Structure 1
Amino acid sequence: MTEATQQFFATLPARAPEVLRTPVAGTLRIDLSEGHRTEHWLVRMRPGAVEVDQGVEPGDATWYCGADLFERLVTGRAQAISAVLRNESTFRGDVVLFLAFRLFFPSAPGTRDPREVAREHARWTR
């Protein structure tokens, strides 16, 4: 796996209090494939906390994703829901875990919060 992917998983526990504010609980298994090799990541989520491990234990949900797509996700160059809808990755199990996990991915470079844009526009029109 790439350094960006490794770093992404390493930072999840520290970022969890900021990201996981809803009452979500369960284990998401992420299967990242590259050629004939697959890495299995287990992300145990609960409100405000995440534990990350590697292993093949079953989860409450499983997300199958290519390693190259996952790197684009962790660098903000792709969107998780769009990838699933385009069938670039697949998912089964508790969809709430997938929806919660996607919040850890960064926004695309140059993306701005629409509320911020509206505030700036309101300032200019006064």
Structure 2
Amino acid sequence: MRRMVQANQTVLPRPGRRHAARLVERVAQDEDWVQLPAGPSQLDSRRRQWWVRRIPDPDTPAGDEAWARWLITRRRPEDPSERDCYLAWGPQQTPVEQSVLVPGARRRVEEAIRLAQQTA
């Protein structure tokens, strides 16, 4: 399960890093971003940079190893200051390449709707 969140969404109980955007600003280093396709697109090249980190879930008891909570952040290489953040829950061993598929799929659905509206 994944959902897009606002930049000021609280993701950690710690001051200074509690909001999604602040956590990314303070923790993500340039070398931590991975460039992967965001999925096929008819509107642009769809290559994005991704930063994916497991973060604690305040609603899950410590020691529950079945699922993990992830912060997935996407940015365009040509404008790294503009970012989209997603919270995700999934298996702890989920690779980055698989984590980025759902945000990319969401975009494909939006593009299909837009293209259909343009041809109608």
The TM-score range, normalised by the shorter chain, is: under 0.3
Which TM-score applies when normalising by structure 2? Answer: 0.28
* Greater helix content: 1
Larger radius of gyration: 1
Which TM-score applies when normalising by structure 1? Answer: 0.27
